[in-house]
Amino acid sequence: MDLTDKEYVEHCRDGHPEDFGLLVERYQKPLFAYLTSRVGDSGQAEEAAQESFVRAFLSLKKLRKPESFYSWLLGIAGRVAKEQFRAAVQRQRDREAAETMMSDASDPRETYPLEEAIAALPESHRQVILLRYYERLSCQEVATRLGVPLGTVTKTLSRAYALLRQELAAREGAVPTVNQTQS
Amino acid sequence: MMNCAECRDNLVACAEGLLDREALLECQTHLEACAGCRAEYQAIASLQQRLVARGHAAAEVSMVAPVMQRVLQKRKEPEKETLMSTILKHRWGFGLGAAASAAAIILSTILLTSPNAQAKAVEVMTKGAQAVAKLTSIHLRGQLRTYPQDNFSSINADSPFCTIELWKQFEPEFKWRIEKPQRVAVMDGVSTVMLIKTDDTGVKFPHPSSSAFDTDWLQRIANISNTLSNELNNAQAKGWKLTTTEETAADGKLKDIVTIMARSGVPDNDYGRNNFIGTADTRRVYHFDAQSGLLEAVQIYLVRPAGEVKVFELNEIDYNPSIDPTTWKLELPADVSWAQLEPPKLPDNAKYASMTAEQAARAFFEACSREDWDEVGKFMSPVTADLKKYLGGLEIISLGDSFTSQAYVGRYVPYEIRLKNGDVKKHNLAIRNDNPAGRWQVDGGI
Block mean pLDDT (10 aa), chain A, length 183 = 83 83 90 84 84 92 90 92 76 47 40 79 90 87 85 92 88 47 31
- Looking at 3.10.450, 1.20.930, 1.10.1400, 3.30.300, the CATH number of the domain B344-444 comes to 3.10.450
Q: Is the pLDDT at B108 greater than 80, yes or no?
A: no
Among chain A residues, the shortest Cα distance to B38 is held by A180
**Dihedral sign, Cα of residue B201, residue B203, residue B204, residue B208:** negative
- Distance (Å) from the alpha carbon of B222 to chain A's nearest alpha carbon: 14
- Distance (Å) from the alpha carbon of B419 to chain A's nearest alpha carbon: 38
Q: Please give the torsion angle defined by the CA atoms of residues B96, B133, B83 and A18, in that order, rounded to the nearest 10 degrees.
A: 100
Mean pLDDT within B157-166: 90
Mean pLDDT within B279-305: 87
Kindly report each contact of residues B301-306 with a partner whose C-beta sits within 8 Å and lies 24 or more positions away, as own/partner.
Answer: B302/B155, B302/B157, B302/B274, B303/B261, B304/B157, B304/B274
DSSP assignment of B285-313, as one string? Answer: EEEEETTT--EEEEEEEEEETTEEEEEEE
Reduced to 3 states (helix: H, G, I; strand: E, B; else coil), residue B424 is strand
Weakest-pLDDT range from A106-110, B125-129, B185-189, B385-389: A106-110
Instruction: Fold for A120-177, please state it.
Output: Arc Repressor Mutant, subunit A (1.10.10)
pLDDT tens string A106-140:
333 435 568 888 988 998 899 899 989 988 888 88
pLDDT value at residue B352: 92
Interchain CB contact of B23 with A (< 8 Å): no
CATH 1.10.1740.10 domain residues, chain A: 1-109
Are the Cβ atoms of B207 and A158 closer than 8 angstroms? no
pLDDT value at residue B104: 32
Q: Which of residues 177-206 of B touch A (CB under 8 A)?
A: 206
Q: Is the ipTM of this complex over 0.85?
A: no
Q: Which of residues 73-112 of B touch A (CB under 8 A)?
A: 74-75, 105-106, 109
Average pLDDT, chain B: 80
Reduced to 3 states (helix: H, G, I; strand: E, B; else coil), residue B234 is helix
- Distance (Å) from the alpha carbon of B250 to chain A's nearest alpha carbon: 41
Pick the residue of B51, B227, B236 with the most A CBs within 10 A to test the interface with A by mutation: B51
Are the Cβ atoms of A21 and B436 closer than 8 angstroms? no
- Looking at 3.30.465.10, 1.20.1440.230, 2.50.20.10, 3.40.47.10, the CATH number of the domain B60-339 comes to 2.50.20.10
- Reference B168, options B149, B188, B153, B152; nearest CA is B188
Q: Is the pLDDT at B370 greater than 90, yes or no?
A: yes
CA separation for the pair B400, B358 (Å, rounded):
8
pLDDT value at residue B17: 80
Are the Cβ atoms of A42 and B106 closer than 8 angstroms? no
Residues 6+ apart with CB under 8 A from A165: A176, A177, A178, B43, B47
Pick the residue of B63, B108, B268 with the most A CBs within 10 A to test the interface with A by mutation: B63
Whether residue B172 has a cis bond before it, omega within 30° of 0: yes
CB neighbours of residue A50 within 10 Å = 21
pLDDT value at residue A37: 79
Side chain identity at B385, as an amino acid letter?
Answer: A
Domain A1-109 CATH assignment equals 1.10.1740.10: yes
Interchain CB contact of B397 with A (< 8 Å): no
CA separation for the pair B374, B389 (Å, rounded):
15
pLDDT value at residue B96: 27
Residues in A closer than 8 angstroms to B16, CB to CB, are 139, 154, 157
Burial of B322 (0-12, 13-18, 19+ CB in 10 A): exposed
CATH 1.10.10.10 domain residues, chain A: 120-177
DSSP assignment of B309-346, as one string? Answer: EEEEEEEEEEESPPPPGGGG-----TT-EEPPSSPPPP
- Distance (Å) from the alpha carbon of A39 to chain B's nearest alpha carbon: 11
Q: Which of residues 44-73 of B touch A (CB under 8 A)?
A: 44, 47-48, 50-52, 54-55, 57-59, 61-64, 66-68, 70-72
CA separation for the pair A54, B72 (Å, rounded):
9
How many CB pairs (< 8 A) connect A and B? 148
pLDDT value at residue A101: 41
Question: Could you tell me whether strands B161-169 and B137-145 are parallel, antiparallel, or unpaired per DSSP bridges?
Answer: antiparallel
Reduced to 3 states (helix: H, G, I; strand: E, B; else coil), residue B33 is helix
Whether pTM exceeds 0.80? no
Q: Is the pLDDT at B34 greater than 70, yes or no?
A: yes
- Reference B109, options A21, A134, A81, A123; nearest CA is A21
pLDDT tens string A47-61:
899 999 999 999 998
Three-state SS sequence of chain A: CCCCHHHHHHHHHCCCHHHHHHHHHHHHHHHHHHHHHHHCCHHHHHHHHHHHHHHHHHCHHHCCCHHHHHHHHHHHHHHHHHHHHHHHHHHCCCHHHHHHHHHHCCCHHHCCCHHHHHHCCCHHHHHHHHHHHHCCCCHHHHHHHHCCCHHHHHHHHHHHHHHHHHHHHHHHCCCCCCCCCCC
Q: Is the pLDDT at B163 greater than 50, yes or no?
A: yes
Mean pLDDT within B353-364: 94
The DSSP bridge partners found for residue B304 are: B307
Are the Cβ atoms of B71 and A17 closer than 8 angstroms? yes
Are the Cβ atoms of A139 and B44 closer than 8 angstroms? no
The more confident residue out of B126 and B85 is B126
